[in-house]
A = this chain, B = another copy of it.
Amino acid sequence: MSLLVTGTIGIDTVETARDKAENVLGGSAAYFAFAARLLAPVRLVGAVGDDFPTAFRDALNDPSIDTSGLETRAGSKTFRWHGKYLEDMNQRESISTDLNVVAEAPPAIPESFRDSPFVFLANTHPAVQYGFIDQLDSPGFVVCDTMDLWINEFRDDLLKTLSRVHGVVLNDGEARMLTGKDDLFRAAQAVLDLGPTLAVIKKGEHGAMLVTRDDLLVLPAFPTSSVVDPTGAGDSFAGGMMGHLAATNRTDIAAVRSAIAWGTCAASLTIEAFSVDAIRAADREALARRLARFRSSLAFD
């Protein structure tokens, strides 16, 4: 089944303690799309400026990514982010964020995309997120992401979005901030009180947790020693997760549990190179091999 993603497509500069990548392809929807397309066809909705490099456009022109929802806005500039990771890669600081086209009116969802049964609303203003939902023909399964800014400053809009989605993916700090609960399991349960039937808490190098009213999955991260750049891990996680659900056309709990494992493996690929390089170079078989290794690393009699 088709999988729609809305989110940013940007130009990133990323510094780590050891290396730097300047003006590379980034953005939540880009990371999501390159992960998800390993499993299911992706419909990409986003906006870039007329400064968006041809090479990045070519990269997005993957056979499994439909870019007819990628709007190039004349006179506008592409979203840019410059971040720096500390020696401890779990910590980063934003050196600059130029919203540019992201601060303008959101892109429209093309008519041909409105029947998408699986939808991922990557992190953006929650009013924009529910604006996207309004444009869709009753999608079967909508999952959103969010961030501290919206939790703190636009809570009412966020609560409206949360009341209309089936699932939400949050990192641990965001879940605590949203619910005021320190314990992650209790925080996830409190998220369910806001509307979604499933809450996925991302814990970075410590894995992820899925909580529903009567089910629980706790997985570590895929054990990799080759972390080059953590940027996009969360969006790739969501891409692998939603890609699996769209590919199987299932949203039952067993499928969602598997989807979390696929997402975990997609995230681990992404962080092994700067930008989308590693996840873009991967194919379905590479991701499936990684899932098999992940399964082995968790198994005990």
Q: Which residues of A contact B (CB under 8 A)?
A: 87, 182-183, 185-186, 203, 206-207, 209, 216-221, 223-225, 227, 254-255, 257-258, 260-261, 296-301
Q: Which B residue sits closest to A291, measured CB to CB?
A: B300
Which residues from B are CB-within-8-Å of A207?
A: 206, 220
Scoring A186, A206, A220 by chain B CB atoms within 10 A of each residue's CB, the highest score goes to: A220
CB <8 Å contact, B298 and A225: no
When distances are taken between beta carbons in the complex, the residues of chain B under 8 Å from A223 are 185, 209, 216, 218
A220: B residues at CB distance < 8 A: 206-207, 218-220
The interface centre, meaning the residue of A225, A254, A261 with most chain B CB atoms within 10 A of its CB, is: A225
Cα(A269)–Cα(B300), bound, Å: 20
Nearest B residue to A87, CB-CB = B182
- Contact (Cβ within 8 A) A217 B300: yes
- Which residues of B are found within 8 Å of A182, using beta-carbon distances? 87
Instruction: Tell me the nearest residue of chain B to A89, going by C-beta.
Output: B182
Q: Are A225 and B297 interface neighbours, CB within 8 A?
A: no
Contact at B257–A300, with CB atoms within 8 Å? yes
In the complex, what residue of chain B is closest to A209 when comparing beta carbons?
B223
Residues in B with CB closer than 8 Å to A301 are: 254-255, 257-258
Q: How far is the CB of A181 from chain B (nearest CB, A)?
A: 9
A221 to chain B: which residues have CB within 8 Å? Answer: 218
Query: Interface on chain A toward B: helix, strand, loop, or mixed SS?
Result: mixed
Q: Which B residue sits closest to A257, measured CB to CB?
A: B300
Given contacts A207-B220, A218-B220, 8 further A-B contacts (CB under 8 A): A185-B224, A206-B207, A206-B220, A216-B296, A216-B297, A217-B300, A218-B223, A258-B301
Most buried by B among A224, A254, A297: A297
Contact A297 B217 (CB under 8 A): yes
Q: Which residues of B contact A227 (CB under 8 A)?
A: 183
CB contact under 8 A between A300 and B260, given known A206-B206, A225-B185, A225-B186: yes
Give 7 A-B contacts (CB < 8 Å), ordered by A residue.
A185-B225, A206-B207, A216-B297, A219-B300, A258-B301, A260-B300, A298-B298
| Least Cβ–Cβ distance between A243 and chain B, in angstroms | 15
Contacts of A87 in B (CB 8 A): 182
Contact A183 B217, beta carbon cutoff 8 Å? no
A208 CB, min distance to chain B CBs, angstroms: 9
Q: Which residues of chain B are near A297, meaning CB under 8 Å?
A: 216-218
Q: How far is the CA of A229 from the CA of B93 in the complex (A)?
A: 33
- Chain B nearest CB, measured from A224 CB (Å): 8
Given contacts A183-B225, A225-B183, A225-B186, contact A298 B219 (CB under 8 A): yes
Expressed in whole angstroms, the Cα–Cα distance for A186 and B87 within the complex equals: 16
